[in-house]
Amino acid sequence: MLKGKTVVLAVSGSIAAYKIASLASALKKLHANVQVLMTKNAVNFINPITFESLTGNKCLVDTFDRNFQYSVEHVALAKQADVVLVAPASANVIGKIAHGIADDMLTTTVMACKCKKIIAPAMNTNMFDNPILQDNLKILEHYGYEVISPAVGYLACGDTGAGKMPEPELLLQYILREIAYEKDMQGKRVLVTAGPTQESIDPVRFITNHSTGKMGYAIAKMCMLRGAEVTLVSGPTSIAKPEFVHVVDVVTAKEMYEEVTKRAKDQDIIIKAAAVADYRPKSVSSEKMKKKDDDLAIPMERTDDILKFLGEHKKEHQFLCGFSMETENMLENSRKKLEKKHLDMIVANNLKVEGAGFAGDTNVVTIITGQEEVSLGKMTKEETALRILDEILKATN
């Protein structure tokens, strides 16, 4: 994902410095070229050898180190960098960078970089709340730096409040958003639906399906990484919400219908990956239904057809993509749905094909438009999402 990209991790003196080792490792696994800079105070919290072992690159601390391949290291490294993350960023380093002070390897390199720079403050909560520190962060934002809000919790000093450095997993998401993919969806507004719906029978029981939301979540994430402004309308799932995506939680088909239709007119692309219930109980018991000796019959009624509504009310230049989960006659049934619902594209898969369907991390799909069919082999759901987006962009450009 990050092959050919150079990530500069700038580590200052904070107890949170040790967490950056796992971030460096994660970036290396994604094939990034990871260069670590450290202040002299940072080496009191973690040894540079740790970073050198994880990244395969020399960890730079001394501006005037003559035992390294670059004659002017900070300038050469600045030219390579695709993104810089200063984490943990101490109050001292934030103040220096905000006011143009470059007196060590970290600050001189950051000053020389023209790429995107991200700051993750980490310090005592009283220091973080200090108006001078807050003014310095505003200065950095004014000059195009992105400041990550610190987490709130118990700090190493014993205080509780804002000042904790976010976990490495979140820091990684900020880096990926910046450099993982070309921003070929910049400026596009995308609405994605995902997951199942739940239709209550009584206060205890409900009707649902086996959808986990993984495919829709993968699509929402990839749209975001490619620069789109994404809204995800999600039924109940147990998977983590994608970062930097506006998530709207719903439970029933009616709630999903209402949330999607009221937002539809503002979207450039709508991708309906949710498994919405076609039927719901006509009435919901206010009390738990007791078991009886004879059979139980539950009268059902149709839910609102979200995709049909979207197709009939599609605005000019809006692209509408649906999903079709079949167990037989996949292509024939999906083509009928494409035409009946006035879709621009439908993504079809067969539940009985190995590697496709619910719950798993892979999928096997055929992308169908009015002009062609593109069959994809077994891929991860994120890889599948990327190929779906490629086809949507090809059709809209």
Give the CA distances from residue 332 to residues 104, 305, 324, 338, in Å, rounded to whole numbers and listed in that order: 66, 20, 11, 10
Q: Cα separation of 106 and 94, whole Å? A: 11
Does residue 332 have a pLDDT over 50?
Answer: yes
Mean pLDDT of the chain: 93
Which run of H or of E encompasses 350?
strand 345-350
Mean pLDDT (whole number) for 125-132? 95
Tokens of 12: 């200052």
Residue positions forming the annotated binding site for CTP: 278, 288, 323, 337, 341
State yes or no: cis peptide before 166, omega within 30 of 0. no
What are the helix and strand counts (H, E) for the chain?
A: 13, 21
Mean pLDDT (whole number) for 180-206? 97
Count Cα atoms within 13 angstroms, Cβ side, for 119: 29
Q: Cα separation of 236 and 203, whole Å? A: 16
Active site residues: 157
Of 62-66, 101-105, 126-130, 333-337, the poorest mean pLDDT is in 62-66
Give the pLDDT score at 167.
Answer: 95
Question: Do 38 and 60 form a contact (C-beta atoms < 8 A)?
Answer: yes
Question: Do 271 and 232 form a contact (C-beta atoms < 8 A)?
Answer: no
For the chain, domains (ranges, CATH) are 4-178 (3.40.50.1950), 187-281+298-393 (3.40.50.10300)
Mean pLDDT (whole number) for 70-81? 72
pLDDT band per the 50, 70, 90 thresholds, residue 386: very high
Q: What is the pTM of this model?
A: 0.92
The one-letter code for the residue type at 162 is A
Which run of H or of E encompasses 358?
none
Residue positions forming the annotated binding site: 278, 288, 323, 337, 341
The one-letter code for the residue type at 220 is A
> Could you give the angle at the alpha carbon of 137 between the alpha carbons of 135 and 143, nearest 5°?
105
Q: Of all residues in the chain, what percent carry a pLDDT higher than 90? A: 86
pLDDT band per the 50, 70, 90 thresholds, residue 216: very high
Q: Cα separation of 97 and 199, whole Å? A: 55
Of 237-246, 247-256, 351-360, the poorest mean pLDDT is in 351-360
Interval 36-70: pLDDT, tens: 999 999 999 999 999 999 999 999 987 555 455 54
pLDDT band per the 50, 70, 90 thresholds, residue 71: very low
Of 147-161, 222-236, 256-270, 291-305, the poorest mean pLDDT is in 147-161
pLDDT band per the 50, 70, 90 thresholds, residue 72: very low
Nearest to 199 by CA among 294, 295, 298, 291: 298
Q: Of all residues in the chain, what percent carry a pLDDT higher than 70? A: 96
Tokens of 361: 């991390």
pLDDT band per the 50, 70, 90 thresholds, residue 397: confident
Mean pLDDT (whole number) for 213-240? 97
In DSSP terms, 380 is beta-bridged to: 362
